[in-house]
Amino acid sequence: MSDIATRILQSLAAVEVERRRRLATAGLSDAVSALKAYQQQRFARTHASLLAHPRYGRAANFFLNELYGPQDFTQRDAQFSRIVPALVRLFPADTVATVESLAAVHALSERLDTAMAIHLQGAAPSPAAYVRAWQGTGEPAARARQIELVMRVGEALDRHTRSFVLRASLKAMRGPARAAGMGALQAFLEAGFDAFGAMHGAREFLATIQSRETALAKRLFEPGAVSAVTGTLASDDALAQLPQAGFPG
């Protein structure tokens, strides 16, 4: 088996370890689901301007639902695990590298989400509880890596959309991918290609997301962050993006 196939399988195995860990601890799966929903709301607040933008809205929604969403990807991940050798053999190398980045950020995010949920100690997500859990989990290097991997996926999708050959190859793969049990992967890639292709260039879009996510991560690690969210925040404070508990958006 190739090195890249091994790395993809290792990431997917790490995700499965987190799922089993949650199932083995009473209430942890529900806590992680609540945390994921809260983080998706936060993303929607942070990037509201991108979601509403006529050029960037489709790609922002792709990020919101495919990379920051609370969906259960158990079935998709199991499908991926079964067909990784075929994936590496059938798909173009650049596309396989994108899948590797996707699997890596998936594994890292799941590990951090489990740790965050444990630190919440049964509390519903709220600005103060979220900051405490974020700081209790720590790992600033892992948070930076998480953003880096998301950017890598976005940059790859942007690059792919400029390759006529790659886009044509992906379309040609639709039938064989379904026959090989790779329908979920094919759908993900096509959705990403369509969303990024509609932008006709993603540099500003990705730079905006990277800047905002990095600023928020840094602010969440600051010693006074808990006190700040329990007081009155300026509208331009990154912490103001944290939703109140129990309220969407």
Question: Which residue range forms the structural domain that includes residue 221?
Answer: 3-241
**Interatomic CA distance for residues 18 and 21, integer angstroms:** 5
Give the pLDDT of residue 73. 78
**Interatomic CA distance for residues 155 and 149, integer angstroms:** 10
Give how many domains the chain has, as a whole number.
1
pLDDT digits (tens, 9 = 90+) for 191-248: 888 899 889 899 999 999 999 999 999 999 999 999 999 988 998 999 999 998 754 4
pLDDT digits (tens, 9 = 90+) for 140-176: 999 999 999 999 999 988 988 877 666 677 777 777 7
Residue 246 lies in a domain: no
Task: Please calculate the CA angle 101-105-110 and round it to the nearest 5 degrees.
Answer: 150
Residue 248 lies in a domain: no
Give the pLDDT of residue 180. 67
Task: Please calculate the CA angle 92-110-122 and round it to the nearest 5 degrees.
Answer: 165
Give the pLDDT of residue 248. 42
Q: How far is CA 194 from CA 29, 171, 188, 190, 222, in A?
A: 33, 11, 10, 6, 38
Residue 145 lies in a domain: yes
Answer for the pair 99, 182: CB distance below 8 angstroms, yes or no: no
Chain mean pLDDT for the chain: 89
Give the pLDDT of residue 165. 67
